[in-house]
């Protein structure tokens, strides 16, 4: 067998093994990695929302709103120098957007509008033409349009109800791209694939999947988070053609065993590979009770003396009845681990304390993340 035929046979063998590794949990490559050069750019601008129903900035508390109003009116030929105006239907806002990769002049992008003064609501407002700058200070888009706020406000003479956040909203397709990013994607000789969750096993599988697709060595794993694709070795018309061929290839990603807990909400999330060694757990609740019952002591009638307050405190400590030590058997799967922990019959917040203690004892074989 020639060397070329042997290489093709090996690639065919890898191609047969990859589906077995991937199984039913195979993920598309485009959902696992970021392509070098294919990225967005953040834009920001400072503008004015007009047409509000008396819910705009108070000029006394937001003088920058008056400054931008004067600047806009003067550009429109209205001289307001020295004039006193106190409108309540305008609000100063920060406008943010993301310029997507390969955006072309004339294209439309969504923008987010957020009040920076003391405006109560942006409902019904209109964003006035606002330039959006990139990190280099250049203007890449111009935004304007009706603001769609995501909240509601109801106000009466003696009460007010606010639901959601009416001081922030969006302008769908509200910005027009005026400048393109100076980047020639067609000149790339190599493209790096950056894994969103770096892992050596996953990177190795991506390398094998790509090489099996082309039948030759096209991809090389550089580290746990990077796979290099040689565009020349791919023998495609352009880097775009090469990425279009590989981005829908499927790979089964590997992740570290991880337990994430959130003390604020009592949320517990466990990965499929979490394991717990055989341990015994005892968990109980202590209730501390402090009652203050001061007593007023008065002197006898017509006797010398003064009224005093004598403190009196009742203290108590109560402990819930528990069954003692409960054994959590070693789990070989996530369902067994969950079943063993549920056998303790505790609430999610108590479960967080138990998992913390099990991790400290070295019996939790996973990365323990507390948020």
Amino acid 12: pLDDT: 41
pLDDT of residue 32 exceeding 90, the answer is yes
pLDDT tens, 123-133?
A: 889 999 999 99
What pLDDT, on the 0 to 100 scale, is given for residue 290? 60
Q: What is the pLDDT of residue 177?
A: 95
Residue 78 above 70 pLDDT? yes
The whole-angstrom separation of Cα 175 and Cα 131 is 9
Do residue 169 and residue 197 come from a single domain? no
Query: Residues 63, 156: one domain?
Result: yes
Q: Specify whether 30 is located in the same domain as 124.
A: no
Q: Mark residue 133 as left, alpha or beta (left: phi above 0; alpha: psi -120 to 50; beta: remaining).
A: beta
> Does pLDDT of 362 surpass 90?
no
Range of the domain at 221: 3-37+184-251
The domain boundary residue, chosen from 150, 177, 204: 177
Number of folded domains in the chain? 3
Do residues 311 and 242 both lie within one domain? no
Q: For 227-245, what is each residue's pLDDT tens digit?
A: 999 999 999 888 999 999 9
Residues 219 and 96 in one domain: no
> What per-residue confidence (pLDDT) applies to 62?
64
Which of 229, 251, 273 is where one domain is finished? Answer: 251
Residues 146-196 pLDDT 10s = 999 876 666 666 666 766 778 899 999 999 999 988 888 888 889 999 999
Of 133 and 5, the one with more pLDDT: 133
Query: Mean pLDDT, the chain, as a whole number?
Result: 80
* 156 and 53 housed in the same domain: yes
Last residue of a domain, one of 144, 177, 210: 177
Q: For 19-177, where are the E strands, in sequence order?
A: 27-28, 33-35, 41-50, 90-99, 108-115, 126-133, 139-146, 148-149, 152-155, 160-163, 168-177
Are 292 and 337 in a shared domain? Answer: yes
Q: Tens digit of pLDDT for each residue in 196-222?
A: 989 999 999 999 999 999 999 999 999
Give yes or no: residues 12 and 77 share one domain.
no
Query: What stretches of 208-325 adopt beta strand conformation (E)?
Result: 219-223, 226-230, 250-251, 258-262, 267-270, 275-276, 279-281, 286-292, 295-297, 308-310, 313-319
265 and 242 in a common domain: no
Same-domain check for residues 268 and 351: yes
**CA-based nearest residue to 243, from 185, 327, 287:** 185
pLDDT range class, residue 7, cuts 50, 70, 90: very low
Give Cα 39 distance to the centre of its chain: 17
Same-domain pairing of 31 and 115: no
Q: What are phi and psi of 25, to 5 degrees?
A: -105, 20
Whole-number Å distance between alpha carbons of 116 and 240: 42
Return the axis-axis angle of helices 200-214 and 239-246, rounded to nearest 10°.
Answer: 110
Do 219 and 231 lie in one domain? The reply is yes
């Amino acid at each position: 067998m020639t060397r070329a035929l042997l290489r093709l046979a090996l690639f065919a063998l890898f191609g047969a093994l990859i589906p077995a590794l991937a199984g039913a949990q195979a993920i598309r490559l485009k959902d696992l990695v970021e392509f070098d050069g294919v990225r967005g750019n953040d834009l920001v601008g400072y503008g004015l929302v007009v047409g509000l129903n008396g819910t705009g900035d108070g000029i006394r508390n937001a003088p920058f709103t008056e400054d931008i109003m004067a600047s806009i009116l003067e550009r429109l030929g209205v001289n307001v120098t020295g004039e006193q105006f106190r409108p309540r239907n305008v609000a100063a806002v920060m406008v943010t957007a993301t310029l997507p990769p390969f955006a072309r002049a004339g294209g439309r992008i969504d923008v987010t509008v957020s009040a920076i003064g003391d405006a109560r609501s942006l409902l019904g407002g209109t964003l006035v033409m606002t330039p959006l700058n990139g990190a280099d200070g250049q203007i890449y888009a111009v935004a304007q349009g009706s603001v769609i706020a995501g909240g509601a406000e109801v106000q009466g003479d003696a009460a007010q109800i606010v639901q959601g956040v009416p001081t922030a909203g969006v302008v769908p397709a509200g910005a027009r791209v005026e400048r393109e990013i100076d980047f020639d994607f067609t000149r790339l000789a190599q493209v790096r694939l950056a894994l969103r969750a770096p892992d050596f096993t996953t990177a190795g599988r991506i390398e094998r999947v790509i090489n099996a697709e082309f039948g030759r060595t096209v991809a090389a794993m550089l580290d746990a988070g990077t796979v290099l694709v040689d565009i020349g070795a791919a023998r495609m018309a352009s880097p775009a053609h090469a990425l279009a061929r590989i981005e829908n290839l499927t790979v089964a990603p590997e992740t570290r065993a991880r337990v994430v807990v959130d003390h604020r909400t009592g949320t517990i999330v466990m990965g499929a590979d979490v394991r717990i060694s055989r341990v015994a757990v005892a968990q109980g609740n202590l209730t501390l009770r402090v009652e203050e019952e001061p007593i007023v002591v008065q002197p006898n009638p017509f006797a010398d003396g003064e009224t005093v307050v004598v403190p009196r405190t009742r203290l108590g400590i109560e402990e819930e009845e528990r069954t003692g030590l409960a054994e959590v058997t070693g789990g070989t799967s996530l369902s067994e681990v969950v079943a063993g922990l549920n056998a303790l019959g505790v609430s999610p917040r108590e479960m967080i304390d138990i998992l913390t203690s099990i991790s400290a004892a070295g019996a939790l074989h996973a990365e323990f993340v507390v948020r």
